[in-house]
Structure 1
Amino acid sequence: MNREEFEKIIADKGWTPLLLGQRWSLSDRRIRMIKAELSEAKPYYKDAVRGLHKLSSSPDESEITRYSGFTAKQLRAVYEKKGWDIDSISERWGFAGKSGLYAFISRNPSLASDAIHGLPEKDSASAGDEFENNTMSVLRAIFEAKGWKADELATRWGYQSVTTLYGFFRRNPAMATDAVNGLPEYQHDE
């Protein structure tokens, strides 16, 4: 998804940056930054935009916050119906594991709910998603075989989080492959 597609989906569903920020508990400035830097944005924002409900021409507060109170069981039913499990969602969105995803869901339930509703059918994911998932899996297998964990690798390369490390992998798969292949074996402190 590029910036134009992102903006079109938002507009077609009746949302503005201000309303979207209100729903996701983000400033409209932050929404504009996400749009401007979409290739750098966390992957769940793209899914969340796809999962937004359509607004009426003059939405009130209840319409803006609609569908934000799903229970964990209800959300699980949504993602399982699409063929996803918690581990594959964590991987898609760049979280180091389940605990990171659960923290995200508890911090921002509206954004998480929209993102879960916007997940594509897993078995019909686009070739780009398949390529990305395969590349991510290969890169992870390489650095794990050398004894590295994602958070250790992020720290070594100066990334603030595993999510930003995975963002680098997604944006630069060839460079990431070269870098991961060039890693030394991890020397654990004993």
Structure 2
Amino acid sequence: MTFTAWLSLFAVCCLGAMSPGPSLAVVLKQTVTNTRSHGLAASWFHAAGVGLWAFATISGLAILVAESEVAFRAITWLGAGYLAWIGVKALRAGKASAFRVNTGKNVSVLTAGIEGAAISILNPKLAVFFIALFSQFVSPDATLSDQLLMTATAALVDGLWYSMVVFLLSHGPVLKTLQNRSQLVNRLTGGILIILAARVVTL
């Protein structure tokens, strides 16, 4: 892969990572509800899920998912159900348990990471995105190094972007503002997740 081609791939991956969606809502929730470590765990486990989809796409597995209506619909409903479950939990959290700094005893860092991974792994739209993206860069003579570079680029861009979001959110003034409006933010986050879940299954 040429450097110019890699720059194009890098730019598209950046745009994909920065687009708002359920992933951002989950990273935000873990960061301000628990700790910076929870947010980082959600970010990098999410990036690992993105890397899995990227690798699956390059190896041709994601094409099977995209072309199989049954498999695609099954993963779509699983993802939508998970989004709705997180949304309901956020709505029920109220003010007392929402967006406060704590020691993370109620939710482990590993649990936060698993939540981040599930959001990406249970998102078949990533398969479609990567099929559209990598079809522009994968060629018959592509080497294993090229494939690994593309996979690593997608995963690292995703992880680094959400890590930046975590550090911005965990900064004192920003976090204090969110804490003062904890119930409102919790309700907005829960509502957005439920709306996204409904949108997924109605498309």
TM-score, normalised on structure 2? 0.24
Q: Which has the higher contact order (CA 8 A, sep 6+)?
A: 2
TM-score, normalised on structure 1? 0.25
